[in-house]
Amino acid sequence: MEADKAHKTSSSKLMKDKVIGQFDIKSIMRFVLPSLLGVGAFLVPIESNGQITILMAVLADWLKDELTEYMMLIVLGIVGLSAVMTCFFSLLAPRRLEEGSLAAELFTVSWPWMLLRVTGLVVGLLVYFQVGPEWIWSERTGMIVLRDLATAIVTIFLFAALLLPLLTDYGLMELVGTLFRNVFKKLFCIPGRASIDATASWLSSAAVGVLITSQQYERGYYSARDAAIIATNFSIVSVPFTLVIAKFVELGHLFIQFYMTVVVAGVITAIVVPRLPPLSRISHSYYPPGGSALNEEVPKGVSLFNWGLHQAVAKAKQAPSFKGLLKSAVCNVCDIWFGLMPPLMVIATVGLAIAEFTPIMTWLSYPLIPLLEFLHLPEADKAAPAMLVGFAEMFLPAVVASGIESELTRFVIIAVSITQLIYMSEVGVLILKVKIPLGFMDLVKIFLLRTFISLPVICAIAHFFVF
């Protein structure tokens, strides 16, 4: 037994020496330098024009400001090219495309998606020229989507696609995943590397978090369930946007309390929702089929940091060349622009029109009124629709809340809207577009789950600690 013990100790020491011995300065720098650039672009808060933001968002805003006069035409050009090329290659000349080529990936789609792309072009033209039914091109519906949302997505995803490889391809996710694996696995049932997704969306935008998750899933680092859990529970609204919402409803003086409430409710919701259907019923299969689980186990005798560094350096050595990264970035940009923008125009515009021009959301919210009254929320009849309209667009609950007198009710509405996460105008469309196995009804169920779990938590915090 003593001999066996000595052998195990010797083996552990050998493994430890072997791991540490692989660290040379050149290899470590290949991991450290790009990762630091990625952290600087996505994860380091900076102040710009009096607001806390990140470098990537500053670059996106700068480009949008420089091209302000042309941004809507650029969006229309993207949507138009997507519709025309999809119709041409899917209907008239499918054999002209080489299987597996970028053009084939972009422009050969199923009938429903082709219809969405064509309809997206029609909606975009109606909005731009302000013709047709007013509910399409109104300032509260289609114009918001074309002028504000779509143009922001064009610039955000341009820089996100160019800079994301610095976070994902040079080992940072391997190091962070190793360090946080126990916390994330036990609390949220997901790999530790998901903390990068959460942090990126927290400081930039929820759509960026979904993009990272989708890429990691398609590369085989996440299972189907992992990707679905991360995309619907950790693609949180950015800090700058939460500040905008707080100020919009005249609660800027309570921003710290508001954001801490969101953090607490978000963590509790992220612990509970993955353990309930529909997420709990998604398989742990990997993409592509036949993939295997990501191994984040740490060998005995090796510290978490040393093993994480070993994994990071090994990943950095396998990173593609600059030309390869640039090619991948261009593919990602084209995929988002041509695949996401047309359905975004349709789904976001229709969702906003339903919320603004029909009583449907009011009717659906009637069962919520007794619940809100039970939670002692003033003006419950006015607050109830705000709990549901966020499914269409993340800013709508704040619009509804702005007309409510009670600070307590406004506080609860905007805090719930931030923790709901699923809004079809951006994140919802993106999740449906990528390969993560979630359908529309899955998103509806997750949205409702997050609402009913976070609502009592936020009300309790608001009643006992804030007001």
What pLDDT does 269 receive? 95
Q: Give the mean pLDDT of 290-306.
A: 71
For 406-436, how does the pLDDT look when each residue is reduced to its tens digit (9 = 90+)? 999 999 999 999 999 998 877 888 898 888 9
Which of 7-16, 85-94, 456-465 has the weakest average pLDDT? 7-16
Is 148 part of any domain?
Answer: yes
Q: Is the per-residue pLDDT at 3 higher than 60?
A: no
Is 437 part of any domain?
Answer: yes
Q: For the chain, give the mean pLDDT.
A: 84
- pTM of the model as a whole: 0.76
Is 9 part of any domain?
Answer: no
Number of compact structural domains in the chain: 1
What pLDDT does 433 receive? 83
Q: Give the mean pLDDT of 436-457.
A: 96
Is 184 part of any domain?
Answer: yes
What pLDDT does 330 receive? 86
Structure tokens at 93: 């000349």
Whether the CB-CB separation of 459 and 268 falls below 8 Å is answered with no
CA distance 309 to 315: 10
Q: Is the per-residue pLDDT at 61 higher than 70?
A: yes
What pLDDT does 466 receive? 86
For 320-338, how does the pLDDT look when each residue is reduced to its tens digit (9 = 90+)? 888 888 888 888 888 889 9
Q: Give the mean pLDDT of 46-71.
A: 83
Q: Give the mean pLDDT of 374-402.
A: 89
What pLDDT does 130 receive? 95
CA distance 112 to 115: 5
CA distance 427 to 156: 14
CA distance 36 to 43: 10
Structure tokens at 399: 């619009």
Is 11 part of any domain?
Answer: no
Whole-number Cα distances in Å, 465 to 228, 256, 258: 33, 12, 11
Q: Is the per-residue pLDDT at 200 higher than 60?
A: yes
What pLDDT does 228 receive? 94
Is 151 part of any domain?
Answer: yes
Which of 8-12, 99-103, 111-115 has the weakest average pLDDT? 8-12
Whether the CB-CB separation of 145 and 371 falls below 8 Å is answered with no
Q: How confident is the model at residue 227 (pLDDT cuts 50, 70, 90)?
A: very high
Q: Give the mean pLDDT of 28-37.
A: 91
Is 390 part of any domain?
Answer: yes
Which residues are within 8 A (CB) of 188 and not within 5 positions of it... i.e. 6 or more apart? Answer: 194, 229, 233, 234, 270, 271, 274
Query: What range does the domain containing 403 cover?
Result: 48-466
Which of 19-28, 98-107, 157-166, 267-276 has the weakest average pLDDT? 19-28
Q: Give the mean pLDDT of 208-220.
A: 85
Is 164 part of any domain?
Answer: yes
Whether the CB-CB separation of 359 and 376 falls below 8 Å is answered with no
